[in-house]
Amino acid sequence: MKFITILFTLLILALPVKAYELLMFSVSSCGFCTAFHNEVGDTYKDSEYAENFPLIIINADDFPLHIPEWFADAYKKGIIKPIRGTPTFIIWDEKKKVEIDRLVGYNGKEWFYIRLAYQTFDLINTNNMEK
């Protein structure tokens, strides 16, 4: 896990600052969502990941009635792909207003951070290819 943390920290340095957000689509009846909130949720904001991927939790208990308007609009326009399960974590490009990638499901804290590191690695490679 320490290696992944170091790798992720180095990769983060290659990302544009404050360009991305990590959106979590969550429902209260989802055991995996609850596990994420208990194992990661409260500590994520203090992690090295939070600065470049601030976590925004979208409570979907009353979907589509009580979700942020910008999310509902993006969902209706197809900018955010359909949500097929919870939790769904969406890497959101705040500047371009598009979904970059997603993680579906939750299988523990270590799994979450390893998957996020892989997604970030792919994101950095894509950005470097566009330059």
pTM as predicted:
0.79
Q: Going by C-beta distance under 8 Å and a sequence separation of 6 or more, which residues neighbour residue 127?
A: 14, 15, 16
pLDDT in tens, the chain (131 residues): 565 555 555 454 444 445 789 999 999 999 999 999 999 988 999 887 788 889 999 888 876 667 788 888 888 899 999 989 999 999 999 888 899 999 999 999 999 998 988 887 766 666 544 54
Q: Which two tokens stand for residue 38?
A: 């208990």
**Residue 33's pLDDT is what?**
97
**Residue 109's pLDDT is what?**
94
**Residue 34's pLDDT is what?**
97
